[in-house]
Amino acid sequence: MMKMTEQAASFLKKEMAEKKEDTLRFYNLAGCCHPTLTAEFEPAEDGDKIEIVEHIRIAIEQAVVDDLKDVTIGIDDSGEEVELVLDGYVFPDACDCEEHDHQ
């Protein structure tokens, strides 16, 4: 089961309230060499696994359920934008395609 830091929960609850969203969804997006894990505020789709973590509804595409089962969601607010951090997620190795931003 996924976990979440208090800082991430507070940030996500605020963002979801401002955007009037009720679900954070994780899914794979086609990439040049392999699928890329993506997270967005959007409704769950048929077949998604639903988890409630720190009172936040999370939808997880079946293809990434096993990849995220022991992940802790955190945030990094040290840059210009706040980024989600998935502690425990193993990113696939980068490939030699033209798209260098794989993570």
DSSP structure string for 45-79: -TT-EEEEETTEEEEE-GGGHHHHTT-EEEEE-SS
Which residues lie closer than 8 Å to 42 by C-beta, 6 or more apart?
21, 23, 25
How does residue 103 score in pLDDT terms, banded at 50, 70 and 90? very low
Full set of structural domains in the chain with CATH:
3-87 (2.60.300.12)
Q: Read off the pLDDT of residues 49-81 as tens digits, 9 standing for 90 and up.
A: 999 999 999 999 999 999 999 999 999 999 999
Q: What is the pTM of this model?
A: 0.85
Q: Read off the pLDDT of residues 14-44 as tens digits, 9 standing for 90 and up.
A: 999 999 999 999 999 877 777 789 999 999 9
